[in-house]
Amino acid sequence: MNEKLEIFKSTLSQIKTEIAKVIIGQEDVVDKALIVILTGNHALIEGVPGIAKTLLVRTLAQVLGCEFGRIQFTPDLMPADITGTNVFNIKFNEFNLVKGPVFTSFLLADEINRAPAKTQSALLQAMQERNVTIDCTTYSLSSHFTVFATQNPIEFEGTYPLPEAQKDRFMLKITMETPTMEQELELAQRMVGDNAPEHVLARHAIKPVLTSDMLSVFQETLKTILIREELVRYLVEIVRKTREHQGILIGAGPRATQALIMGSLCFAAIQGRDFVIPDDVKFMTSPVLEHRLILRPEYEMEGLDINEVINEILQDVSVPR
């Protein structure tokens, strides 16, 4: 293992230790969130209300030493509420820019699917180009600008489905499961007696582990991870199979291929390896593809699950040796 990767692994261990002070369990979720950050991408986080989706993102921002912003999406939210607007200043007889919450490093788009498509789409340029255009003027965002969008399951009342163009710009869909009995018991014990917090982050005194500059160095470290040509062909074939499967109406595009490569490289680094193995690709396949695929209505009515289809595809593609 090279020296850069040793430092990378050691620092990630510190990051996870700090996060664990607040977030109980959810190790896979934390790994996937770190993959999104280290590859400079964005993620959807789905789970029932009260499962610590918002708390996870706030904790990540604090541990990584990044500026944090939050938007609570509601049905009456307007695009200008996200990007900002120019306001006329009578005193100086000029327009001044009032920046919206999108001008930050870590943006939490809370319950993004409670707002209609027009408002959701206000994030598209920012996510893709890290720029925002307001009144014909383009402004640059942080080079580490990352969107974590939480969403309630679509069957919940008052939700709007995300348009396909926007879903494709999220690298991963991270599903947070309900805690186990032991984890929920630990949570309950934290909330009673002298442990009862005024604010969970203040109580645990989360320490920043990284700076913005260090984050850039870590992102460069990923370029040292090797992936064999056979594995690249393997993951490309997985993505292409989604366009041929009889149960899928809309398959994954080339952006999914890029996400699967980046995710596999980063997951290998998190595991302390400087090379990718087939299991890395398999681990990343479901979170990369799940939100990008649309089942045919007749298969959906039969109760076919999208992850079942993904598993079928994985079994159908030959694993390189």
pLDDT digits 0-9 by tens, 125-145: 788 888 888 888 888 888 888
* pLDDT tens, position by position, 61-118: 888 878 888 888 888 888 888 888 888 888 878 888 888 888 988 899 888 878 777 7
Report pLDDT for 247. 84
143, 183 in Cβ contact below 8 A? Answer: no
Eight-class DSSP state of 290: T
Q: Provide the pLDDT confidence category of residue 205 given band limits of 50, 70 and 90.
A: low
Instruction: Cite the DSSP H helix spans in the chain.
Output: 3-20, 27-38, 53-63, 80-83, 117-120, 124-129, 164-167, 181-190, 200-204, 212-221, 229-241, 254-270, 278-289, 297-301, 306-316
265, 227 in Cβ contact below 8 A? Answer: yes
The class level of CATH for 225-321 reads mainly alpha
22-212: which CATH topology?
Answer: Rossmann fold (3.40.50)
Question: Looking at the chain, how many residues does it have?
Answer: 321
Partners of 96 in beta bridges: 87
Which segment of 150-154, 195-199, 253-257, 297-301 scores lowest on mean pLDDT? 195-199
Among 235, 241, 211, which Cα is nearest to 285's?
A: 235
171 has pLDDT over 70: yes
Range 233-246 average pLDDT: 91
Report pLDDT for 204. 56
Residue 269 burial (10 A CB sphere; 0-12, 13-18, 19+): buried
Mean pLDDT for the chain overall: 83
Eight-class DSSP state of 144: T
Range 291-302 average pLDDT: 84
Eight-class DSSP state of 52: S
Token readout for 91 is 């005193």
Contacts of 172 (CB under 8 A, 6+ apart): 32, 35, 36, 41, 43, 44, 259, 263, 284, 287, 288
22 has pLDDT over 60: yes
* pTM (two decimals): 0.85
Return the domain boundaries, the chain. Answer: 22-212, 225-321
